[in-house]
Amino acid sequence: MCKCILCNNKFDELTEEHIIPYALGNDTLKANILCKDCNSDLGSFVDCSLIDNIAIQIKRMDLKISGRGKVPNPFKQGVDAKGNKYIVNNDFKPTIINSITKDGNRFRAHASNKEELKKIVRKSLTRDGYYSEKINNVMDMIDKIEANKFKPELIYDIEINLNDYCLAILKIAYEYAYLRLGDSYLNDTRANEIKDIIRAKIDNKITANHYKNMFVNQINEEFSGIIAANNLKDICHFIMLMPTANNCIGCLISLFGDINLSYIVLVSRDQNKYTIPDPDLILIKSE
């Protein structure tokens, strides 16, 4: 029997968990540490906020990391200043989404070219019961008008929930500390605090206050040096346990070698109980 590190229940076998999500290009740092239900809950309630984060999606797009789906395109839907909607393909070419609005006998239509425009206008007039002769007149008019060509400036409205992002980082730290410090880490008071926060999120009981004091202050000069020395120009994640002040242990998680995506989680207040192992470097295979 083996014990799931999140719900503490015993199972005949556990499922494989990627400590840093597979969608971020990690296929090396993984272990059978969770039951099926906990693994699936973490995916739906915790890992998702990391995977959906726009900064992470931009990194994945740049490095063409597809994960289990497609390489993400965080800019695929945009809006211009007038509120017209656009689809943006992977080469960043915007295409307007066809639309037609009517006000009595006046109508206003948007389409990516004249043929598309004629198609939606014809459909709309037919539905309104106009005779084909009248419709053909309108089609002639469309042929004659100079279509308004322009390069739209798209506006993206981005919302990032930093709390959820931090929770996903806490999860990585908890699992990594367990993987490297062993079974005795499950009895660590700090381990249990982190685990309770993750469980509270899954049970929908979390408030922002839960995150207070979970992180070692900001990443300072010394730590940026560690990140810089270990990153291989945007192609790897870097994770390590390290002694921190007051006999504590921190877990430095540096995603994509980017200081803005790096955190140090306080994973234990009992440095003396453990041997701190070597850091891990996760290389991402380029396509």
Q: How far is the CB of 271 from Zn ion (least distance, A)?
A: 28
How many residues sit close enough to Zn ion to count as binding (CB under 5 A)?
5
Span from 7-15, 90-98, 199-207, 246-254 in contact with Zn ion (CB under 5 A): 7-15
Q: How far is the CB of 258 from Zn ion (least distance, A)?
A: 32
Residue 210 to residue 85: CA distance in whole angstroms: 39
Q: Does 19 bind Zn ion (CB under 5 A)?
A: no
Q: 114 vs 205, which CB is nearer to Zn ion?
A: 205
Residues 6+ apart with CB under 8 A from 251: 172, 173, 176, 177, 239, 240, 241, 242, 264, 265, 267
Query: Under DSSP, is residue 98 helix (H, G, I), strand (E, B) or coil?
Result: coil
Between CA 177 and CA 253, with CA 242 as vertex, the angle to 5 degrees is 65
Residue 26 to residue 286: CA distance in whole angstroms: 12
CB 67 within 8 A of CB 284: no
190-229 residues near Zn ion, rule: CB under 5 A:
none
Q: 10 vs 285, which CB is nearer to Zn ion?
A: 10
25-84 residues near Zn ion, rule: CB under 5 A:
35, 38
Q: 6 vs 255, which CB is nearer to Zn ion?
A: 6
Q: 60 vs 201, which CB is nearer to Zn ion?
A: 201
Spatial strand order in the sheet of 280-283:
262-268, 248-254, 236-244, 280-283
Which CA distances in Å does 76 have to 80, 106, 217, 226? 13, 31, 36, 35
Q: How far is the CB of 174 from Zn ion (least distance, A)?
A: 13
Q: Rule CB under 5 A: choose which of 3, 7, 78, 116 binds Zn ion.
A: 7
CB 107 within 8 A of CB 121: yes
Q: How far is the CB of 32 from Zn ion (least distance, A)?
A: 12
Q: How far is the CB of 6 from Zn ion (least distance, A)?
A: 5
Q: How far is the CB of 200 from Zn ion (least distance, A)?
A: 15
Q: 119 vs 199, which CB is nearer to Zn ion?
A: 199
Q: 85 vs 199, which CB is nearer to Zn ion?
A: 199
Span from 4-12, 92-100, 129-137, 190-198 in contact with Zn ion (CB under 5 A): 4-12
Report how far Cα 201 is from the mean position of its chain's Cα atoms.
Answer: 17
Q: 31 vs 54, which CB is nearer to Zn ion?
A: 31
Structure tokens at 60: 């994945």
Residues 6+ apart with CB under 8 A from 144: none
- Paired with 263 in beta bridges are 253
Q: What residues make contact with Zn ion under the rule CB under 5 A?
A: 4, 6-7, 35, 38
